Amino acid sequence: MPLKELIDRDWQELESEGILFSSLEKLVAWGRSNSLWPATFGLACCAIEMMSSTNGRNDMARFGSEVFRASPRQADVMIVAGRLSKKMAPIMRRVYDQMPDPKWVISMGACASSGGMFNNYAIVQNVDSVVPVDIFVPGCPPRPEALIYAVMQLQKKVRGEAFDQLGHQLPMVDAWTR
């Protein structure tokens, strides 16, 4: 088919024949959302549930997140699983700073999100006060399915398909101005 005929045809006809139209921004966001590599930062009992999210029954590999990285320079998602002590907070911040941009954080469990039952001097009451959190996972400890749902919500956020409480579409995550 000559190029002039392609230009003259309606784009909906071309899409019905299997030719897709998209912007480079959306293509990069789609690729980025389907290859989220988490950094292991398991601090307490929630880490067991985080580990079990990769077993055969739950299989987080379906969403491109099966590769838990031990090096922060190879990861783009930090899953904070469990209570964060004030002694560990600067170390977690250093690991977060070593991650390449764009980077995201999932706070897993009641202890990471709000301090949980540990309302004392030694526990950080909200991980969001140390690093910016994108997704909060409730529960004590949350089930592996809840973490998989959080990864799916993060994928929507990265692709620009997330909505706020009023139904307004949230903007796509800009990789360089985070």
Please enumerate in sequence order all residues whose Cβ is within 8 A of that of 57, keeping only pairs 6 or more positions apart, or say none: none
* Domain residue extents for the chain: 37-159
CATH code for the structural domain at 37-159: 3.40.50.12280
CA distance 136 to 154: 10
pLDDT of residue 112: 84
pLDDT digits over 100-159, tens only? 888 889 998 888 888 778 888 888 888 888 999 888 888 888 888 888 888 888 888 887
Which residues are annotated binding-site positions for [4Fe-4S] cluster? 45-46, 111, 140
Residue 176 has pLDDT above 60, yes or no: no
What confidence tens digit (pLDDT) does each residue in 78-110 have? 988 888 888 989 999 999 999 888 888 999 888
pLDDT digits (tens, 9 = 90+) for 12-58: 666 677 666 666 777 777 777 777 888 877 888 888 888 888 887 88
Q: Give the residue numbers of the binding site.
A: 45-46, 111, 140
Distance CA 143, CA 53 (A): 8
Q: What's 177's DSSP letter?
A: -
